[in-house]
Amino acid sequence: MKKSKLFTKLAKNNKRFQKGDHQQGELAAGQKNNNKEEYYSSQWKLIWKKLKKHKLARVSLVILGLFYFGAIFAGFIAPQGTQEYDGEYMNAPPMSINFWDEEGNFHFRPFVYGLASERDPDTYRKYFVEDTNVKYPIRFFVEGTEYKLFGLLPTNIHLFGVDEPGQIFIMGTDGMGRDLFSRVVLGSQVSLSVPLVGVSISLILGLIIGGISGYFGKWIDVIIQRIIEIFRSFPTLPLWMALSASIPPDIPVVQMYIYIVVIIAFIEWTGLARVVRGQFMSLKNEEYVLAAKIAGVKNAKIIVKHLLPGIFSYLIVAITLAIPAMILAETAMSFLGLGIRSPATSWGVLLQEAQQIDNVALYPWKLIPLFFVVISVLCFNFFGDGLRDAADPYKKV
C-alpha cells in the first residue's frame, strides 16, 4: 500500500517535470550561465548528484557497502570456517577485547583473555569466566582453516585471530561452539546475495511480463493482470511451505540456494511487473512516444529507447524497496527451517537458535544476527528513499 502511494507521488512529480521545469529552461535561455554542466547531464548524472546530497542515503550506502564487502571477503574476515566447531566452548559469551591488563598496563597489541569453564553449583549449568592469567594477543593475517577466496583461490590466511590454543569469539558462540561472528559474516553471503539474485530474476520476469501487459494492453493486459492477481492472493507462508516441501531434503547447498532464490523471486515478481506495467501505460501515451512512432521507429526500439529509460528511475527505486522484502523473506524461510540448512548458514538459520525463550534469556548474544537483519533492511529502505527523492526530478534537495 505504502509503496503504491510512493509511486503515484513519483509519477505526479515526473509529470510536472516534463510539463515545465521552467526555471531551468530559462536559465539556459539566458545569456549568462550558458555552460553550466547541468545542461549536459543526463537524468542519471542529475540523480547521482542529488543522491549525494541525501545524508541518510549516503550513510546507508556506506553501511551497505561495508556489509557487502564483508560478504565478498567472508572467508577472510571470519576467523572460523563453516565446518569448524569446538565442543569445549558451547554457548560462550562474547569476549572483551582489551588494551589494559588487570594491573593497568597498556598493551599496544589488543588481547583477549582465555576462557575457563565453571559450573553453577545449583543448576549444574556450565558457564564461562575470563581467565585473566592467560592472555592471547590478537594477531592479524594469521593462518587458520583452509578456505577458498571468492570460491576460487585456496588460502588459509584470516584477517585476525589468536595463537593456539586460544580462541577468539567477539560475538560469543552458539550451542555447538561455533564462533557467532564467523557465522554472521559467512551467513551474510547468503542473506545479502539472495535478495540481489532474487530481485534480478523477478526484475526480468517483471520487465517482460509487465512490459508486454502495459505496452500492448487490451486482452493481453487483462489476462496477465488476472494471473498476477491470482499470484498475489496466495497466502505467502503456506506457499513457501508447499514449495520448500517439494525440495528434496538432501541436496547440495548450492542447489538449495538456487531453489530458495527462485521461490522468493517467483512470489515477488508480481510487484515489479505492476510497476512496469503502470509506467508503460502512462508513458506510451506521451507525445514523444507518438512522435517516435510517426518517425517510423519500430515497436521494439520504442520500448528499448523511449520507454525503458523513462521507467529506469522508477525501477531502481522499486528494486531497492523490493530488496528488504526479500531479505526478510529469506530470513523468515530459513528461520522456519524451510530454507538454507546447517552447516550452511544464513542470518535466518542463525536466528533459529533464538527460537526458544530460555535460550534467549540465558544467551542473549544469540540475537546479534537479528541486529544485522534490521540494519541491512533499514539501510536498503533509507537508500531507496534517497533514490526516490533523487529520481524525482522536480525536487530540489
Partner 1 sequence: MNTKEDFGTPLLSVEDLRISIQQDDHVLHAVDGVEFQIKKGTTLGLVGESGCGKSLTSRSIMQLNPKECETQGQIVYRSEKDKGLQHVNILDLKPTGKMMRSVRGKRISMIFQEPMTALSPLYTIGNQIMENILIHRTKNKKEAKQIALDMLNKVGISNEEKRFNQYPHEFSGGMRQRVMIAMALSCNPELLIADEPTTALDVTIQAQVMELMKDLQKDLEMSILLVTHDLGIIAEMCDEVAVMYLGKIVEKAPVKEIFNNPKHPYTKGLIRSMPKLGGNKNRRLESIEGTVPLAINMSNQCGFYDRCTQRIEGECDKQRVPNYQVNGEHSVRCFLYKNEMEENGHV
Partner 2 sequence: MSKQILNVKNINKEFKVKSTKLFSRPDPVKVLKDISFDLYEGETLSIVGESGCGKTTLGRCIAKGVEATSGEVIYHSDADKQIDYLHMDKQEFKQFRKDIQMIFQDPYSSLSPRMSVYDIITEPLITNFNLSKAEVDKKVSEIAEKTGLNASYLRRYPHAFSGGQRQRIAIARALITQPKIIVCDEAVSALDVSIQAQIINLLIDLQKEFGITYIFISHDLSVVQTISDKVAVMHLGKIVEMADVEEIFNHPKHPYTEALLSAVPIPDPNVEKDRIILDGEVPNPANPPTGCEFHPRCPYKTDKCISERPDLTQTDEENVHLSACHYANELHLKGVKIANEGNE
**In the complex, which residues of this chain contact partner 1 (CB under 8 A)?**
22-23, 26-27, 29-33, 396
Smallest CA-to-CA distance from 258 within 267, 247, 269 is with 247
Selection from partner 1, partner 2, none that 296 binds (CB < 5 to 8 A by kind) is partner 2
Minimum distance from CB of 355 to partner 2 (Å)? 50
The answer for residues whose C-beta is within 8 angstroms of residue 132's C-beta and 6 or more apart is 101, 102, 113
Selection from partner 1, partner 2, none that 287 binds (CB < 5 to 8 A by kind) is partner 2
Spatial distance between the Cα atoms of 142 and 339, rounded to a whole number of angstroms: 33
Minimum distance from CB of 26 to partner 2 (Å)? 5
Count of CB atoms situated within 10 Å of the CB of 163: 10
Minimum distance from CB of 30 to partner 1 (Å)? 4
| Beta pairing class for 106-119 and 126-149 | antiparallel
Minimum distance from CB of 26 to partner 1 (Å)? 5
Q: Is 310 in the site for partner 2 (CB under 8 A)?
A: yes
Is the C-alpha dihedral spanning 30, 35, 36, 39 positive or negative? positive
Query: Grid cell 523490493 — which residue?
Result: 322
Q: Is 288 in the site for partner 2 (CB under 8 A)?
A: yes
Residue closer to partner 1 (CB basis): 53 or 232: 53
* Residue 283 and residue 295 in contact, taking contact as beta carbons nearer than 8 Å: no
**Residues 240-279: x/- map of binding to partner 2 (CB under 8 A)?**
----------------------------------------
Selection from partner 2, partner 1, none that 33 binds (CB < 5 to 8 A by kind) is partner 1
Selection from partner 1, partner 2, none that 291 binds (CB < 5 to 8 A by kind) is partner 2
Smallest CA-to-CA distance from 24 within 394, 313, 397, 389 is with 394
Selection from partner 1, partner 2, none that 32 binds (CB < 5 to 8 A by kind) is partner 1
Selection from partner 1, partner 2, none that 17 binds (CB < 5 to 8 A by kind) is partner 2
Residue closer to partner 2 (CB basis): 27 or 239: 27
* Residue 127 and residue 77 in contact, taking contact as beta carbons nearer than 8 Å: no
**Residues 37-76: x/- map of binding to partner 2 (CB under 8 A)?**
-xxxxxx---------------------------------
* Residue 162 and residue 145 in contact, taking contact as beta carbons nearer than 8 Å: no
Residue closer to partner 1 (CB basis): 218 or 396: 396
Burial 348-368 (b: 16+ CB within 10 A, else e): bbbbbbbeeeebeeebebbeb
The answer for residues whose C-beta is within 8 angstroms of residue 100's C-beta and 6 or more apart is 106, 107
Minimum distance from CB of 22 to partner 1 (Å)? 6
Minimum distance from CB of 331 to partner 2 (Å)? 37
Residue closer to partner 2 (CB basis): 46 or 176: 46
Selection from partner 2, partner 1, none that 396 binds (CB < 5 to 8 A by kind) is partner 1
Spatial distance between the Cα atoms of 106 and 317, rounded to a whole number of angstroms: 50
What values do phi and psi take at 348, rounded to 5? -65, -40
**Residues 22-41: x/- map of binding to partner 2 (CB under 8 A)?**
x-xxxxxx--------xxxx
The helix or strand, by DSSP H or E, that contains position 71, with its residue range, turns out to be helix 55-72
